[in-house]
Structures are given as C-alpha cells and as structure tokens.
Structure 1
Amino acid sequence: MTQSWLNKKTAIGVMLAGAMLAATACGSGGAGDAPAAADKGGSKASSSGPTKVVFWHAMGGSNTKVVDQLVSDFNASQDKIKVEAVFQGTYDDLLSKLKATMGTKEGPSLVQMYEIGTRFMIDSKTTTPMQNFIDQDKYDLSQLEPNITGYYTINGKLNSMPFNTSNPILYYNKDLFKAAGLDPEKPPKTFEELQKAADAITKTGKATGANFAIYGWFMEQFFANQGAEYVNNGNGRTSPATESLVNSEAGVKTLTWWKNMVDTKAANNLGRKTDDSKKAFSAGQVGMILESTASLKGLVDNAQGKFEVGTGFLPKPEGAKEGGVVVGGASLWIMNNRPTDEQKAAWEFIKFLTSPKEQAYWHINTGYFPITKKAYDEQSVKDNLKKFPQFQTAIDQLHQTKLNTATQGAVMGVFPEARQIVEGAIEEALNNKKSPKDALDGAAKEITNKIQQYNKTVKQ
C-alpha cells in the first residue's frame, strides 16, 4: 500500500471543506444535481472540433494497453468526441492527484476510482451521479450485473459506473491434492475443510498447505461471506458509518482460524504482498492461496506444464449465515466541474465501454468480470471459458451471491486507512504479538476514531 489518502486529522477537514467550498464557489452541481448547465471552460464540439474527454485511470502494466485500445476504438467509431486516456499511477497516486485538482478548472472529465474511495467521492460533492445520465437517457440498468452495480448503489442511486471488477476465489494445486490423498475435484468449502486439506498437504513434505497474503480485502470478503457487516448502519449504507465492526464474531473467528493454520504449519505467512503469495503458488511451494479472479489467467499460464490449477469458492466457517462475495476493483466517475457537453461526452464513452462487445474484449484481455450480462453471449467469451474453465467458478460465485448490505460491501470515508489498520492487526496476531481478539479490538477502536474524525468534516 502507498501512503493513505487521509493521513492527518487536519488534512481530512481541510481537504473536504476546501473541496466542497471550491465546488460551491465554482457553481458546480452538487452530488445530487443534474449536470451543470454553465460552461466553466473546456472544450465544445461545435466550432472547435470534437469534445475532448480527459480520462484518468490507474490501469498499469499490460492493462494500460487494453485501456488505450478501448479508447482508440471509441475515438475511431465516431468524430464528435475524442477521449484522451492518462495513466496516473497507483489508485492512491491517482486519488492524491485528483484531490489536488478539486475546486479548480483543471483535472479530468472522467476518473477511475477504487471501490474503497466511494464514500469519499460522494462526500466531496465533486461528481455528477451516474444515475442522472441513466435517468435522462432511459438507459436500461437491467442489462448490467446487479451484484456488481450493487456496490456502487447507495440510497437507490448508482453513483458511478463499474469498470474493472473482480472478487476473490480459492486457487489450489490439483497435483498436491492428489499427493495428499485429497479429491482434486472437490475444493474445500469451509474453514474446517480447508484447514484439514492444508494440514494434509503440509504433511506430505512436498509443500506448505496454504498461504493467504495479509490483505485487508480478504478480511472484508470473509465478513461478507458470513453475512456479517464490516461497519455499522447497514455497512454505512442506511446512514454513514460511525463504528468499525472488525472485532465482531466474524472477525475474531476468521483471524483465530487463520492464526491456527499458521501456528500448526498448515499455512505459512509470507507477509502483505500478494505477488509473493502468487509466486509461491506458481512455484509449487504452497497448495492453496486466495487471489483475485483477475489473476486467474496469469496463474493458470504460470502453472502450465508444472501442475493443474483448480478453483473454488471463498471458504466460510461451518454453519455461517448465508453470505457471498463483495466486488472489488474500481468504477468510473464523471466530474461535475466540467462543462455539460463534456460530461455528456464522458457518458457516451461509458455507454460504449459497457456494450457487450467491448466488455467481452475487456474481460478476455484483463481477466476482470464483464459487467454486462450479454457479454457472456459473445463467442470470444465462450471460447475463453473453454480455454480457462476455472473462470466458471468466479462467475458462479458472483451469481450465487445474494445482494444485501453485507454483500454489497462496506462504505466509509477512511476505508484506505482502515484497510491498512486491519492488515496491521492481522500481522500482530500471526506474529504472536497480540491475541486475535485483542488485535482486532485495537483495530476497531482506531478505525472508529478515524471514522468519527472524518464524519465531523462532512455535512451529511
């Protein structure tokens, strides 16, 4: 993780207050308003050529090329709008750069923001809700995956359009399962089954049973899979969250299980970097890992000729309440300090991105979920599923998740910080510095304090 985007108490107040005052001074529409009618600078489509849409994103590596290709295809499809994609580094880097432009005439027309930045984006009052364009255009939202749009829907309003979407699944080495006398076609479904399988693999002496990177996202997912909320007030959805629930029964049960696996050598602890976990799995050094669905193609390719990769649902404790997974990734936000024509042009680009053909291209080349249902009817997607049948696990897990406040996911203004605090608590427990309960009690207290500090700066 890079430095948190709300790293000082005073910075929270200054940032949000400044952003909101500046937005008001500029005459921008608030978060619940229609696209601003006045032109505040920028480009127009009439005499000056196509309307320019500046799109800031955080898709690095090979995904940059995929974004650039989508932009190029859109620009070539018509002559009234020209989108310019600008890579801004990590999600945290992007947010820092965006905050520096809030209240000015600078900055993007369209911005990608990670899911844990959702509450901040709403509270900043610097965006035009996607719902406004949906309503004006009579856009059919039913064509999109409800378990994906659900995360970004608060108070019945879709605030941003999902873009890159994933969830975590269990990856396992079928060869190591066979060597341990386990059924390679039956991945463990519960904490208890996973612990037994991991122990059996470790006892073969061929590899360690499992590894879970110390990643706060996984803890959030374990909560949702037990039907448990991560913060109060309906996971921050019925009203803004005021308290962390990370030290509730779901959290303590999860961390106790995790620590017990490490203590008994059924699992090892390789730290916070998910890349280290993936490398160990690809090298055949661990039998099971948790990872994003977006990592599937890379993990299967890396195992080619060495072992067969199996996939399973995220495990849960025996007897846990019905739950599911929360979508991760990021969504697209239209900034309300841009001229009306520019905002509408950004919306046209978004509609292009959500078409079945483009979603199929996005999915196949990145591993992220298509957000559009009909993308699965594209022959290219069908062919890709034949090549990577493991992805069916991810699709089934998404579709079997029943949408409720737990599986919609938590929203809070200090989520990036909270995620780091939880990772610190997991480390304390796994390294025997604190008991799971004490570590999570400390994390909950610290997160609650930060939530309450943040809430004081925001006019609800």
Structure 2
Amino acid sequence: MKKKFKFAYLYMLLLSLIALAACTNSESNTSEQNEENKENNEVVTTEEGKTVISFWHAMSGVGQTSLDSIVADFNASQDKYEVQAEFQGTYEESLTKLRSVGGTKDAPAITQVFEVGTKYMIESGFVEPIQKFIDEDKYDISQLEGNILNYYTVDDELYSMPFNSSTPVMLYNKDAFKAAGLDPEKAPATFSEVIAAAAKLKTDDMKGFSMLTYGWFFEQLVATQGGLYVNEENGRAGDATEATFNGEEGLRVFEFLDTMNKAGTFGNFGTNWDDIRAAFQSGKVAMYMDSSAGVTGIINNAPFEVGVAYIPYSDEAERKGVVIGGASLWMSKGIAEAEQKAAWEFMKYLTTPEVQAKWHLETGYFAINPSAYDEAVVKDAWGKMPQLKVTVDQLQSTEPSIATQGALISVFPESRQQVVTALENLYQGMSPQEALDQAAEGTNRAIEIANKTK
C-alpha cells in the first residue's frame, strides 16, 4: 500500500515538473518572440493572442488609481487588446522621455501630453492625427464636448483625443462671507467686485483674495476678456512671432492684482498648489482661484461651507468664458498598424458616457462626453455636491472664439515661467506694465529661437 502511494506521489510530482517546464518554456518562448517582434516592428501579444500596447501617462494619486481601474475594465471587456498603463512622472518628464523614442517602433502607442505641449507635438513628427481614425471609422465626434475639442483642433483637424480636461474656477468661504456681511450665495463677478469683497473679508488673520503664482490663471483672465496671448490669431493662423498678452487685457489683470496687493487684501502663497489650498482650508484667505479638478477635494476637506463661482472678469469687458486645460492623448506614428488600431479602440472606450461618468466623479475632471452628466450616478453626486455643476456650466457657457480656443506656441512652458517672474516682480513693487513687458520680451526671445530652429 505504501509503495503504491509512493509511486502515485512520484508520478504526480513528475507531471507537475513537466507542466511547469512546459509553462516556463512557453513563457520564455513568448517573451523571446515578443522581443523579436518588437525588433522587427511587429505586434507584441499576450499568450492569449491579445495585442499589447503601452500607454504613457502622468497621472498620480487619485487620478492614477482611477485610470488603472479604467484600463483594467477595458482589458477585461474584450479579448483583442491589452493596454499597459505606465506612469512616466510629470508631464515635463514624460515628454522628455518621448523625445528620445518618438517616431520609432519603441514609442508608446499612446502618450498623455499637457495642453501647452500641443504645438510641439503637432510639429514633432511623432504623431498620427486622431482625425485620420475619426474619418476612417466615421466616428461621431459631435457627441463630445465642443469647447474641449476646440483647443486640440487646428485647421479643422483634431490632433489628439481630449482626456483629463479642467478649467479654473473661483472658490470662496461662505462662512467668511456671512461674517463680513456679504451674500454667501452671490460671489463677486467682476474685478472691481472682487476688490471690494476682498476689502470687506480681510481680517488680521485672513486675506481677501489669492491666486497661485502660475501662468495658467493669468492666461485665463486674459482670455475671458477676449484677449489674445500671442499674434497670428493666437498662433492658430500661423507661427506666432510675438506676445500680445501685455496689451490692455493683460494690463487689467496685473492692475487688478496690484490694487489688492498694495491694499494688503491679497495673499501671496507662492507657486505650490498645496500651499494655497492649505491657506484656504485653514482660513488664511477667503477667495482664491483653483482648478475645477480640485473642487471635490477642497469641499470634502474644508471645515466650512465652500462656494464655487466662475472666474472674475474685467469691468471693461464682457465675460467670454474659459480655455480648456489639462491634457490629451496622442497616437504614435511609426508603430505597427495593429497597435494603432488597439490604441484607437481604447480611446473610443474612454469617451463612452459610463467611463466618463466614472472619471468625472472620481477625479473632478470634466466628462469629454456630456452624455455622462445624464448618468444616474452623476446626477446623484451633483445633488449632494451642486458646486460640481458650476464648473460644467462655466465651460458649457463659454463662447467659442480664438481667445477661448487657447494659444498655440511651442515655447509655452518657457512663456509661463516668464509670467511667473512677472507676477513675482509685481508683488515686489514693479509697475504692472513694466513687469508685463519684461515677460513679453522674454517670450518673444523664446519664440524667435524656436522659429529659427524649427
């Protein structure tokens, strides 16, 4: 009996070793074959035959958690494709990595790039315009949010698929408004109204208004007046050659900030998002501008009732709306056709109302497909947190124009840094016009160099 048991045990052990060896050899062969496929610019597949593609992104924290979940759901929803989401650091770090492999077989099928990288990506030669796949597939682009598509559309061609889209909004402390005798249900709308409210809200411990020292907010305050950032119709009629943001619209913004800074009602909390958000939540400032994607977190963490309003605009202008921010997804050129097909199918999946509803609620970013707002889960969430709807209303009420479409220049990151320096100089006492002119001159030099080396 013992011999029979021992023989059966050895027999089962031998079968297990054979199976393990076969599995190991299979995995090894698959890995070797995929390496060979990559070298020959052929498709990498899973053991099940799924086409594998890489998706480079810059999402961290809540955004990464939500994105990983969406990718997993896509992979499980069908048996043809497998997306591998790979975090590449910040937008700047990811773009630097892409420069080394862009246009080759080693490039990821999809890369997430921030909005100010649009001009660079178009001129890079690394990408296949999304319009090609829209036309071939007869995909109904009208189902997506027009005011988001506008930014990424150049000469009537959509170059990338919008993904994590946001705009600025103004957040305010409703409790502080009540204490100051202001209507907590009516936020100030114009520059003069903000200045007046800031004076009433100021206390020994609280400043009235603040804005992150970041070029994006300045761009928005210029655009909502109908002002342009650069010439050549904001760089959309041709390559821009000079900055125009130091004109009357930009000057109004700097004078607006300068007035409150000199009155002691403006709080300068620097360039770090966490610092200005902490200042608001701890009651050090009553009003400030933030990204729409940050609204949910602020409401959930503030020890007071938070109001959300449209960004302010100049008394000498009419409100035109906002320019979309965030990032979009770009299709690589030079990779296998099957990989492009997989990437396109994933992009279409991302635009579905169900996925966009999940993305909107989990991250605070806009749904690029407005039908997502009709989903029951979104309506329920808006009922509990109506401030979220304000961010969407501001976007959808934006008037399409060259100003709100946003500027296109390949040196946008450099230009934003010029504006940051100008804001810092302003707060140190430099005149608004001089600070702006210096930023414009620095931007012009960067544009000139970029145009010469294009």
Q: Over residues 266-324 of structure 1, what are the superposed CA-to-partner deviations in whole Å (9 max), with x where a residue is unaligned? A: 11111111221110001111100100000011100111xx2100011100011314411
Q: Does 1:170 find its partner at 2:170?
A: yes
What is residue 20 of structure 1 aligned with on the other side?
none
Q: 1:101, 1:310 → 2: CA distance?
A: 45
Confirm or deny: 8 A CA contact 1:44 1:341 kept in the other structure: no
Confirm or deny: 8 A CA contact 1:246 1:443 kept in the other structure: no
What is residue 440 of structure 1 aligned with on the other side?
436
Shift of the alpha carbon at 1:107? 2.4
Confirm or deny: 8 A CA contact 1:169 1:293 kept in the other structure: yes
Q: Over residues 336-389 of structure 1, what are the superposed CA-to-partner deviations in whole Å (9 max), with x where a residue is unaligned? A: 011111011100000000000000000010000000011011111111111211
Confirm or deny: 8 A CA contact 1:111 1:333 kept in the other structure: yes
What is residue 28 of structure 2 aligned with on the other side?
none
What is residue 187 of structure 2 aligned with on the other side?
187
Counterpart of 2:351 (choices 351, 354, 358) is: 354
Change in 2 beyond 3 A, CA 1:206/1:130: same
* SS of residue matched to 1:171: strand
Deviates more, 1:179-188 or 1:45-54: 45-54
* SS of residue matched to 1:187: coil
TM-score, with structure 2 as normaliser: 0.90
Counterpart of 2:448 (choices 438, 442, 452) is: 452
What is residue 342 of structure 1 aligned with on the other side?
339
Q: Does 1:395 find its partner at 2:389?
A: no
Q: 1:128, 1:105 → 2: CA distance?
A: 13
Q: Does 1:227 find its partner at 2:223?
A: no
What is residue 296 of structure 1 aligned with on the other side?
295
Confirm or deny: 8 A CA contact 1:293 1:368 kept in the other structure: yes
Matches within 5 A, 1:67-86: 67-86=67-86
* SS of residue matched to 2:89: coil
What is residue 10 of structure 2 aligned with on the other side?
none
Larger gyration radius, structure 1 or structure 2: 2
* Letter of the structure 1 residue corresponding to residue 324 of structure 2: V
Confirm or deny: 8 A CA contact 1:51 1:345 kept in the other structure: yes
What is residue 418 of structure 1 aligned with on the other side?
415
What is residue 364 of structure 1 aligned with on the other side?
361
Q: 1:46, 1:131 → 2: CA distance?
A: 29
Matches within 5 A, 1:144-159: 144-159=144-159
What percentage of aligned pairs have identical amino acids? 48
Q: Does 1:374 find its partner at 2:371?
A: yes
Any gaps of 5 or more consecutive residues in structure 1? Answer: 1-38
What is residue 246 of structure 1 aligned with on the other side?
245
Any gaps of 5 or more consecutive residues in structure 2? Answer: 1-38
Change in 2 beyond 3 A, CA 1:41/1:168: same
Q: 1:96, 1:46 → 2: CA distance?
A: 29
Q: 1:439, 1:337 → 2: CA distance?
A: 44
What is residue 64 of structure 1 aligned with on the other side?
64
What is residue 284 of structure 2 aligned with on the other side?
285
Confirm or deny: 8 A CA contact 1:40 1:339 kept in the other structure: no
Q: 2:173, 2:46 → 1: CA distance?
A: 58
Q: Over residues 228-250 of structure 1, what are the superposed CA-to-partner deviations in whole Å (9 max), with x where a residue is unaligned? A: 11011111111121111121111
Q: 2:281, 2:46 → 1: CA distance?
A: 54
Confirm or deny: 8 A CA contact 1:45 1:80 kept in the other structure: no
Confirm or deny: 8 A CA contact 2:230 2:407 kept in the other structure: yes
Aligned residues between the structures: 417
TM-score, with structure 1 as normaliser: 0.88
Q: Over residues 135-188 of structure 1, what are the superposed CA-to-partner deviations in whole Å (9 max), with x where a residue is unaligned? A: 000000110000000000010000000000000000000000011110001000
Q: 1:425, 1:440 → 2: CA distance?
A: 6
Q: Over residues 31-82 of structure 1, what are the superposed CA-to-partner deviations in whole Å (9 max), with x where a residue is unaligned? A: xxxxxxxx96141669981111100000011211111101100000011101
CA RMSD of aligned residues (A): 1.6
Q: 1:162, 1:149 → 2: CA distance?
A: 7
What is residue 31 of structure 1 aligned with on the other side?
none
Shift of the alpha carbon at 1:94? 0.5
Confirm or deny: 8 A CA contact 2:227 2:245 kept in the other structure: no
* SS of residue matched to 2:372: helix
What is residue 119 of structure 2 aligned with on the other side?
119
Confirm or deny: 8 A CA contact 2:171 2:290 kept in the other structure: yes
Q: Over residues 78-110 of structure 1, what are the superposed CA-to-partner deviations in whole Å (9 max), with x where a residue is unaligned? A: 111010000001111101111111243322110
Confirm or deny: 8 A CA contact 1:168 1:292 kept in the other structure: yes
Q: 1:156, 1:121 → 2: CA distance?
A: 17
Confirm or deny: 8 A CA contact 1:40 1:338 kept in the other structure: no
* SS of residue matched to 1:310: strand
* Letter of the structure 2 residue corresponding to residue 354 of structure 1: T
Deviates more, 1:77-86 or 1:257-266: 257-266
* Letter of the structure 2 residue corresponding to residue 396 of structure 1: D
* Letter of the structure 2 residue corresponding to residue 192 of structure 1: S
Structure with the largest fraction of helix: 2
* SS of residue matched to 1:151: helix
